[in-house]
Amino acid sequence: MRVQKHSVFSFLALLWFVASSLVDVLFPKEIYLSPELYETFYPNDVINLFLGGVALLLSTLKTVRKSKFFLPFRSGMLLFILYNAIASAYANTNGLDIVLLLLAIAAVLTLVEAEEYQNLLTLGFFPVHAKRYASLLILMAGLFILRAALQLFGKEASPGVKGVSLADVLLCTLWLANGIGFLRNAAKCFIAAFICYIHGSLLFLSLLLFFILQPLLLGTAFPFVDFVVIAMMSTAFFIPLALLAKEMQQLP
């Protein structure tokens, strides 16, 4: 059986993501050289270890790999890995983060050019309310880019905040481009927009878990207001993702 390049790089990126998260969780004092970086990234490492471990386990199951959702969700997970790699490499550069960043970039690039992905683009699927989904993706991308740009160029922003902001600007620009493409040609750009909704849902899920774990791991107060606000904002991704997945499930 022929082994595809994108499958190799995707597996290596996911495996390295889990391994590097485990190292960060086990040796946080050696990895994070300031309290700010520790408070910003340590709870996130625990979350990444959990989500990455689940994704790695699922990717070994034959029934999962045969699902029509496998490639889109793997693509969304790779964007999630790339997002975390950009933030970590900028804020707390070390060898593990640099290797993860390179693997994530290689995985995304080889996936986009893969025949399996190109075949998905030819499905010609036109979802109901496509313009609404596209407009919502464009709106959320614009809000995230604006907020991140203000933080990125703010003089008082910490390295951790700037790292996350840089990741927001780069990845949300992808949301914006795919949202515009989805608005102009829904049939051709559906898969790309669907992957962006998967990626956004993973980010919101990660942030909600961050708010829950932060008091347990760092002894801080539970940010109730922030949790409620983000939970409400997350519906802008969770609900469209569920509806689009339901429509995609009906495809032959």
Q: Which of 212, 150, 146, 154 is nearest to 175 (CA)?
A: 146
- Other beta carbons within 10 Å of 87: 26
Q: What is the pLDDT of residue 3?
A: 63
Q: Summarize pLDDT for 28-77 with one digit per residue, the tens.
A: 988 988 888 999 999 999 999 999 999 999 988 889 888 889 999 999 99
* Residue carrying the six token digits 């600007």: 169
Q: Is the pLDDT of residue 154 over 90?
A: no
Q: What is the pLDDT of residue 119?
A: 81
Distance CA 101, CA 226 (A): 29
Q: What is the pLDDT of residue 2?
A: 62
Q: Summarize pLDDT for 173-188 with one digit per residue, the tens.
A: 999 999 999 999 988 8
Average pLDDT, the chain: 92
Which amino acid is present at 113? E
Q: Which of 190, 209, 67, 79 is nearest to 127 (CA)?
A: 190
pTM for this prediction: 0.94
Better-scored residue on pLDDT, 65 or 136: 136
Distance CA 238, CA 205 (A): 9
Q: What is the pLDDT of residue 252?
A: 62
* Average pLDDT of the residues in 20-26: 95
Distance CA 194, CA 237 (A): 10
Distance CA 82, CA 27 (A): 22
Structural domain boundaries of the chain? 5-249
- Other beta carbons within 10 Å of 147: 14
Q: Which of 193, 190, 165, 191 is nearest to 179 (CA)?
A: 193
